[in-house]
Amino acid sequence: MPNRFYGAFDTERFSGKPDARDFRTPFQIDRDRILHTPTFRRLQNKTQVFWSGEYDFYRTRLTHSLEVAQIGRSICHWLKHAGDPLAEDFFIDPDLVEAACLSHDLGHPPFGHAGERTLNHLMGPYGGFEGNAQTLRLLTERIFSAKRTGMDPTRGFLDAILKYKSLWTELRTTGGVLPENHFLYDFQHGFLDWAMGGHDFPAELPPGDERDSFKSIECQVMDWADDTAYSLNDIADSVRAGFLRIERIEAWAEKHDKGIGEGTPLGELIAAIRKRRVDPFVGKRIGRYIQATTLKADTNFLSGSSNRYRFKLVVDPDIKAESKLFKKLAFELVFLSPQLKQLEHKGNHLLHRLWDVLEQRYVTGGSIDGQDFQLLPEDAAAEISEADSPEKKARLICDFLAGMTDGYAARMYKRLFTPDFGSISDLIG
């Protein structure tokens, strides 16, 4: 039975070429193309909260993305089950949402958000770096490395990963202060324009938070699925790692005047830790967060072009407040801890040193101490040499660094800067 929710506008691919005859829907093709790429597999060795590889059971970007995808699909099924305005032949496509969820962290560099901030600082003179913008770059220009053509996404899929819709220069302040995050690269304006069907943003959606709040329904579902996983599953990892202990949670709650009695979120978390039933606690709440969603009709400048913009996802305020509480708890007791900050400092140092030597060799200097050392794999070095501006050369170096896993970045650092590490056999591994 055809799904009336989507039309030709939603399933059109950026190239304009129709899909070859296939038993799959256009959105299933999008999902499958993501799932079988090396870019997706590299997420298994990229930091989520704790450095990947430190312990086998901690979440990585890969397992996080898989969990977000499962939650996203479940939200779609829940909303369809709830009925009006959705129906058997009119529903949010779970394959499309799954594709967006699997893709949402593709552009994130090694060493988590600290790595993202480091690359944005280093790319300041060249147009900035942002994880979501890098995801868009991968999908449209880089993900199939042999041809560097991107994966030719459908409009519905491309729009589903566009959490932010403001360009880098649009967010620069009059004093020249560079944006920290939540932007697209300036050269991506054509992809944004295509995703919007050529429509200009109205005056009531200026660059920044107002424009970023304008998301397709699939992007909204992906965003809440990500929040659900982030606020609950990261809590579970933090308990296992020993960062969230009962006495620390109690002290934090007292400091912030948060209740820990029976029936409160923190009280139930403490009880779960005491009973060693954190996983059931998380699982039950994931179900609760899924069922806290409903749809509300919306009218805007794109609602006449696509059903993807006819609805807003509404989340129960109490559940949303609980999610924010858990994220704040994890941020202050885990992410700001000296242990994680020391690891972030290490990751920052590694990326800084790698950037410095690669920028000097391939962008600004052309040689190091008068010698043309070939430091990058042949295909990457050749592409950089063919780039016709410092900005494009720097962007390609940034692509290389952002695509690294945590382990690859650490090994390359050691090969370049640790005298007794490395051999001929591991020059590209």
**Nearest residue to 222 via CA among 150, 162, 306, 294:** 162
* Residue recorded with tokens 């597999």: 41
Question: For every one of its 429 residues, what pLDDT tens digit does the chain have, with 9 covering 90 and above?
Answer: 789 999 999 999 999 998 888 899 999 999 999 999 999 999 888 766 655 555 555 778 898 999 999 999 999 999 999 998 999 999 999 999 999 999 999 999 998 888 999 999 999 999 999 999 999 999 999 987 556 678 999 999 999 999 999 999 999 875 678 898 999 999 999 999 999 999 999 999 999 999 999 999 999 999 999 999 989 988 888 898 888 999 999 999 999 999 999 999 999 999 999 999 999 999 999 999 999 999 999 999 999 999 999 999 999 999 999 999 999 998 898 888 888 888 889 999 999 999 999 999 999 987 777 778 889 999 899 999 999 999 999 999 999 999 999 989 999 999 999 887 766 555 544
Work out the angle at residue 249's Cα, subtended by the Cα atoms of residues 246 and 255, and round it to the nearest 5 degrees. Answer: 140
Q: Residue 429: its pLDDT value, please?
A: 44
**Interatomic CA distance for residues 286 and 73, integer angstroms:** 13
Bond from prior residue into 377 cis (ω within 30 degrees of 0)? no
pTM to 2 decimals? 0.93
The C-alpha torsion from 207 through 208 and 213 to 218, rounded to 10°, is 80
Q: Which residues are within 8 A (CB) of 297 and not within 5 positions of it... i.e. 6 or more apart?
A: 85, 310, 311, 312
Q: Residue 282: its pLDDT value, please?
A: 95
Taking the mean position of all CA atoms in its chain, how far away is CA 104?
4
Six-digit token pair at 393? 């050369």
Six-digit token pair at 232? 């609950």
219 and 160 Cβ atoms separated by less than 8 Å: yes
| Sign of CA pseudo-dihedral 149, 152, 156, 160 | negative
Bond from prior residue into 85 cis (ω within 30 degrees of 0)? yes
- Collapsed DSSP state (helix, strand, coil) of residue 334: helix
The residue type at 225: A
The residue type at 331: F
**Interatomic CA distance for residues 364 and 403, integer angstroms:** 22
In which region does residue 53 sit, left (phi positive, over 0), alpha (psi from -120 to 50) or beta (all else)? left
Six-digit token pair at 235? 């809590």
- The helix/strand count (H/E) of the chain reads as 20, 2
Q: Dmax over Cα atoms in the chain, in whole Å?
A: 70
Read off the pLDDT of residues 298-345 as tens digits, 9 standing for 90 and up: 999 999 999 999 999 999 999 999 999 999 998 898 888 888 888 889
Q: Residue 258: its pLDDT value, please?
A: 95
Taking the mean position of all CA atoms in its chain, how far away is CA 401?
16
Q: Which helix (H) or strand (E) holds 398?
A: helix 390-402
Q: Residue 245: its pLDDT value, please?
A: 94
Q: Where are the alpha helices (DSSP H) in 181-311?
A: 189-195, 209-212, 217-240, 246-255, 265-275, 278-290
| Residue 31 buriedness (CB in 10 A; 0-12 / 13-18 / 19+) | buried
Six-digit token pair at 266? 């923190």
**Nearest residue to 39 via CA among 373, 404, 387, 346:** 404
**Interatomic CA distance for residues 173 and 217, integer angstroms:** 30
- Collapsed DSSP state (helix, strand, coil) of residue 312: strand
